């Protein structure tokens, strides 16, 4: 199947090889052209050389190309997968995570929400909109798949500025629940479970659960077993005090984990600990360093003509869903995805219609069609609606490069609540990150 798939940000050791792992396990996409694009020539060349060797090792299933020129990369593209980070991911993330708290916010992890999430958004959104502009002009029929964070805010900005862009966002957070816990708790194969989820990325809930073979609603069984099942399995990085407090209060299971949920709720600091979030980010940073070093080792051995016979790519799927969804679109499979990020468009009736929501979806040649959820319970809709309003204002501040709106957005965030604090945070972050941020004025 001759498709052209463009990987933007392909110089990332954590993005390029896993995507290629899934491609090499695909039967439907063999023969396609895979274009690697990045602005970092050294990293791009390293990934390209290693993957070209992997392609040879595995029978030259794909045509592998590279380019530093984005406009060249996008010519006649069918699918564009974007996973970029503007600036050093962890250097800036530590600033996002610590500076707002230094001034008195209750922010616990500033990746996608809270004051830190605002600055992450402000760095990422203008860069990704420039990519989307090229897609819109050069290959407007291509599907644009976003992996970059802050997922909800980036996708919302894309939808606002380029409403005709065939865009969706993907996140693997649902795997916290699906890969081990659900099959073990319910003593059923994952393939026999159909989940219905809803909410926002990193702030979403299990709303429905069906046994595929019988059509039986087994969400009541989940609710009956959940607390007993997780007794003794609490994980400070994932399912722990905050998850189960929210589950108890709202009667819907938040499958995203404490370390993400705490970004969006003002009571997050009551149930999570700063040291746990520091340890989590440290672990993610060390993981990135390890992944990069592994790729470098393979590259050095390639240059010495001593490339490992076993190769770099895994024999198991990466867990990411981009390639499976591309297959479903190309082959018109009408497959089912547990969790995708797409414009609301009536999926959740009591949240803003142009919000980007995380939901379950069917996938065919037309793209992704979200499972309609109707109205959420009022309390849950209010919980999500507050973050939706902040996202709306965040996007407006960034698009207009408005300092006034930016400070108002920071002050009204549930993890801040103070104009005085917001102004101090804004001033320091602008001083530290100015070259990555819009010209707020």
Active site residues: 172
Instruction: Round to whole Å and give the CA distance between 144 and 165.
Output: 7
The token duo for 365 is: 């040649």
Instruction: Round to whole Å and give the CA distance between 391 and 409.
Output: 9
- Which has the closest alpha carbon to 439: 122, 127, 153? 122
The helix or strand, by DSSP H or E, that contains position 203, with its residue range, turns out to be strand 203-211
Q: Are 254 and 91 in contact (CB under 8 A)?
A: no
Instruction: Round to whole Å and give the CA distance between 398 and 385.
Output: 20
CA–chain centroid gap for 153, Å, is: 11
For 174-332, where are the alpha helices, taking DSSP H only?
175-176, 182-186, 219-230, 241-250, 258-261, 268-271, 274-303, 322-331
- Which has the closest alpha carbon to 313: 57, 17, 13? 17
State the burial class of residue 292 (Cβ atoms within 10 Å of its Cβ: 0-12, 13-18, 19+).
Answer: middle
Whole-number Cα distances in Å, 209 to 190, 205, 215, 219: 11, 11, 10, 5
Instruction: Round to whole Å and give the CA distance between 102 and 189.
Output: 46
């Amino acid at each position: 199947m001759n498709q052209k798939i463009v990987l933007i940000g392909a110089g990332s050791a954590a993005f390029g090889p896993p995507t290629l792992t899934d491609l090499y396990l695909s039967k439907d996409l063999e023969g396609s052209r895979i274009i690697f694009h990045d602005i970092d020539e050294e990293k791009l060349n390293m990934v390209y050389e290693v993957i070209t060797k992997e392609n040879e090792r595995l029978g030259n299933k794909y045509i592998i190309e590279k380019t530093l020129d984005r406009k060249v990369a996008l010519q006649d593209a069918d699918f564009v997968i974007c996973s970029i980070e503007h600036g050093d991911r962890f250097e800036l993330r530590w600033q996002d995570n610590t500076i707002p708290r230094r001034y008195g916010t209750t922010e616990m992890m500033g990746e996608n929400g809270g004051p830190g999430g605002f600055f992450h958004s402000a760095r990422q959104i203008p860069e990704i909109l420039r990519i989307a502009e090229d897609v819109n002009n050069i290959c407007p029929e291509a599907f644009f798949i976003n992996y970059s964070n802050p997922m909800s805010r980036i996708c919302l900005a894309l939808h606002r500025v380029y409403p005709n862009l065939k865009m969706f966002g993907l996140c693997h957070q649902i795997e916290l629940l699906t890969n081990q816990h659900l099959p073990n708790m319910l003593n059923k194969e994952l393939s026999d479970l159909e989940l219905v989820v809803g909410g926002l990325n990193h702030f979403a809930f299990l709303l429905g659960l069906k046994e595929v073979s019988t059509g039986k609603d087994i969400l009541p069984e989940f609710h009956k077993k959940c607390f007993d099942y997780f007794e003794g399995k609490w994980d400070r990085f994932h399912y722990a005090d905050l998850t189960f407090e929210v589950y108890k209060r709202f009667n819907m299971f938040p499958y995203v984990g404490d370390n993400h949920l705490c970004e969006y709720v003002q009571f997050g600091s009551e149930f999570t600990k700063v040291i746990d979030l520091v340890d989590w980010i440290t672990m993610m940073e060390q993981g990135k360093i390890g992944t990069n070093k592994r790729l470098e080792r393979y590259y050095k051995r390639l240059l010495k003509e001593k490339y490992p016979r076993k190769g770099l790519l895994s024999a198991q799927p990466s867990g990411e869903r981009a390639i499976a969804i591309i297959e479903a679109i190309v082959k018109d499979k009408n497959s089912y995805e547990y969790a995708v990020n797409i414009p609301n468009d009536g999926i959740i009736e009591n949240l803003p219609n142009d919000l980007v929501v995380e939901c379950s979806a069917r996938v065919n040649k037309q793209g992704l069609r979200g499972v309609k959820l109707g109205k959420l319970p009022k309390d849950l809709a209010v919980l999500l609606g507050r973050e939706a309003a902040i996202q709306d204002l965040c996007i407006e501040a960034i698009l207009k490069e408005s300092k006034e709106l930016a400070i108002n957005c920071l002050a009204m965030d549930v993890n801040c609540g103070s104009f005085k604090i917001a102004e101090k945070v804004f001033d320091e972050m602008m001083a530290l990150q100015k070259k990555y941020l819009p010209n707020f004025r």
